[in-house]
Homo-oligomer: A and B are copies of this chain.
Amino acid sequence: MYAPAHFTETDAAEIDRLWTAHPLAVLVAMTEDGLLANHIPLLRDGADFLGHVALANDMHRRIGADTPVVAIFNAIDGYVSPNWYPSKAETHKAVPTWNYQVVHVHGCLTFSYRDGDKRRCVNALTHHFERLTNGDTGWRMGDAPADFLQTMLDGIVAFRLRVTRIEAKSKLSQNRTAADFQGVVRHLDAQGSTVLAQAMLRGHKT
């Protein structure tokens, strides 16, 4: 990914926040038959990520142990008009751009067809997302009838993404003056793009 130094995100806590808040990654693989892309929620597990796909999704047959993959987490983005820079009214030296935050996780996948691995994977993802969504009243695997759950598990493949490289970019007007930066924040807020405005204010002004 093209990322000049001033847009490279190096804050580990911010990177962790980005993939946690935007867990639906697009997983792209470079296979012998071409590019293969699928959208899969991923959960950090130590230095790896966990996920699972339908057995009917042929990615587990097309992606080998050495196939390069990249999991792309798209956080937030928005257009930035030159009209929003106070300096524009004085110098007119401004052009449109786009602000965004993304994380690219490069690595390889290890698929598992073992029942134990699949149960651990599904349980970890379920526990994480149900706690976020429903707190203490979250759904648990044990809520489903055992034979139904087994049929569901038989229809999936679990995988582990072993990470070789992480690239993150926070393109958030850090290259502008403080006045122009605040102008962008103000206009984004005014048009309802508050999440992007908050990302800009979250300590990413150099």
Contacts and interface: CB of A to CB of B under 8 A. Distances in A.
Contact of A104 (B37, B58, B95): B37
Q: How many copies does the complex hold?
A: 2
20 contacts: A2-B59, A24-B74, A24-B77, A26-B102, A28-B35, A28-B37, A28-B70, A37-B70, A39-B98, A39-B169, A79-B132, A81-B133, A82-B144, A83-B139, A88-B139, A92-B148, A93-B144, A93-B148, A95-B144, A96-B130
Nearest to A95: B152
Given A96-B139, A102-B39, A26 B74 contact: yes
Interface residues of A, number: 60
Nearest to A133: B81
Contact of A39 (B28, B100, B144, B145): B100
B133 A79 contact: yes
A43 to B, nearest CB: 12
Interface of A: 1-2, 4, 24, 26, 28, 30, 34-39, 41, 53-54, 56-59, 68-70, 72, 74, 77, 79, 81-83, 88, 92-96, 98, 100, 102, 104, 106, 122, 125-126, 129-130, 132-134, 137-139, 143-145, 148-149, 152, 169, 191
